[in-house]
A and B are shown apart, each in its own frame.
Chain A
Amino acid sequence: MTEPSFEGAQKELEAIVERLERGDAGVDELTKLWERGEELYRICAAKLEAVHGRIEELARRDDAAD
């Protein structure tokens, strides 16, 4: 399975959260959903971190160029 896009991962994470909050997930599913949610969170957070770092790097480089 290829890694989902940021938007895809974020959507799936939110769908999982909504499902959990609706309360119709089976007890056996709870840990699986939790684990999948955490995995999606890590994917999103890593992507955000990478983008944020790149923006800061660009800003520093452009400021340095002035």
Chain B
Amino acid sequence: MKVEATEVEGRKVYSVRAFNQGVATWLARLPTLWVEGEVTELRRQQRWQSVFFTLKDPDDGACLSVQMPRGQFDALRLDLKDGERVHVYGRPELYEQRGELRLKALSIERFGLGAHLAALERLKQKLADEGLFQRKRPLPRFPQLIGLVTGNDAAAKRDVLTGIVQRFPPANVVVAETYVQGPRAPASIATAIGDLCRHGCDVIVLARGGGSFEDLLPFSDERVVRAVATCPVPIVSAVGHEQDTPLCDLAADVRASTPTAAARLVVPDIAELRAGVERARARLHRGAFTLAGRHRGRLDTARERLHRAPLLALERRRARLDNAYARLATLSPLATLERGYAIVHRGDEIARAEKVRSGDTISVRVADGTFGATVD
């Protein structure tokens, strides 16, 4: 921008406005950078377009005015309070109307691990309240296509792939390589999850090896957590080491302590499967033989009974017949003779003693025969 000066009594003179414009133009050439300081005099009002605060050097009290569009400031959800230490990313500019230098903030970050943890805790609470950490679906027993989201040269990738192939060689895996740290990571991870689902994966593994707290922050990014929580197929999170708990671990259906553990979770062990099938076959064979034997035994028993029964039935009938005959025999006079009685004949019946005379020849019948006799 050309700044016009006027010539007054031999000297070049600038209007205030022109001067400020000139300085502003010059300042605009300075780079965008991070400035660290304490927040003071934070001023935020609904009717203002911008939020203002003063960044103060904690060592010697030097001050710098900071301005940030209110919408941007609110989107950061920092909930800043006076006295907090922050990193402000911005560029210097001149408020031309008043000739005041200030930093136009593009982003603000809390400074320090504790603050990071506090922010994470707030996000965690918010997402938990939305119910994003509740869905725990079972993994498919025999996945058709496994999606793996991981860094392009990560040991995590190798661990997962090796683990899968060792346990279940016929597995199909499609790998989506993404940024796994830094500012571009969250969006690329979220996109990769969606891509793998559209690709037809029926289970997804999100894997990253260990790293610093900051390295793992993308896995607690709201975009990643939401992508995991809304993933249409079950998702296993294997991020960092055992002690790390990025928020994507909570949103995932299953959490694996390491990438190798994730591999164990998504595929069955083929050796175990084989052993299981072998056991089932052995039981099948035993069962078939046992059942055939049982039928055989039942049949043999029936045949034995078949062979015994008619004779028994005949014997019972013979016994009934014998019994009837015995009863018949008791009614016969022959039975009386058996007891020692005799029947005396003389050609006719002798029923009265007076009918018999001395010298009569009579026949006497006893049990086993007849003999003659003469009456005295």
Residues from 10 to 27 in A contacting B, C-beta threshold 8 Å: 10, 13-14, 16-17, 20-21, 23, 25, 27
Question: Shortest beta-carbon distance, A29 to chain B, in Å?
Answer: 9
User: B-side interface residues toward A, CB under 8 Å?
Assistant: 281, 285, 288-289, 292, 295-296, 298-299, 302-303, 305-306, 309-310, 312-314, 316-317
Which DSSP category, helix, strand, loop or mixed, fits chain B's interface?
helix
B292 touches A48 (CB 8 A): yes
What 9 A-B pairs come out closest when comparing CB atoms?
A20-B309, A37-B306, A17-B305, A30-B310, A41-B303, A55-B288, A44-B299, A52-B292, A13-B302
A27 touches B314 (CB 8 A): yes
Task: Among B292, B299, B317, find the residue whose CB has the most chain A CB atoms closer than 10 A.
Answer: B299
B310 touches A33 (CB 8 A): yes
Question: Shortest beta-carbon distance, A27 to chain B, in Å?
Answer: 6
Give the interface residue-count category, chain A.
20 to 34
Q: Of A10, A20, A44, A52, which one neighbours B310 at CB under 8 angstroms?
A: A20
Q: How far is the CA of A65 from the CA of B173 in the complex (A)?
A: 32
- CB-based nearest B residue for A49: B296
* Cβ–Cβ < 8 Å partners of A52 in chain B: 289, 292, 296
A34 touches B306 (CB 8 A): yes
Q: How far is the CA of A17 from the CA of B303 in the complex (A)?
A: 8
Question: Shortest beta-carbon distance, A52 to chain B, in Å?
Answer: 5
B289 touches A21 (CB 8 A): no
B316 touches A41 (CB 8 A): no
Q: How far is the CA of A52 from the CA of B314 in the complex (A)?
A: 37
Residues from 27 to 62 in A contacting B, C-beta threshold 8 Å: 27, 30-31, 33-34, 37-38, 41, 44-45, 48, 51-52, 55, 59, 62
* Cβ–Cβ < 8 Å partners of B285 in chain A: 55, 59
- CB-based nearest B residue for A10: B299
Knowing A10-B298, A44-B299, the reply to whether A38 touches B281 (Cβ < 8 A) is no
B306 touches A48 (CB 8 A): no
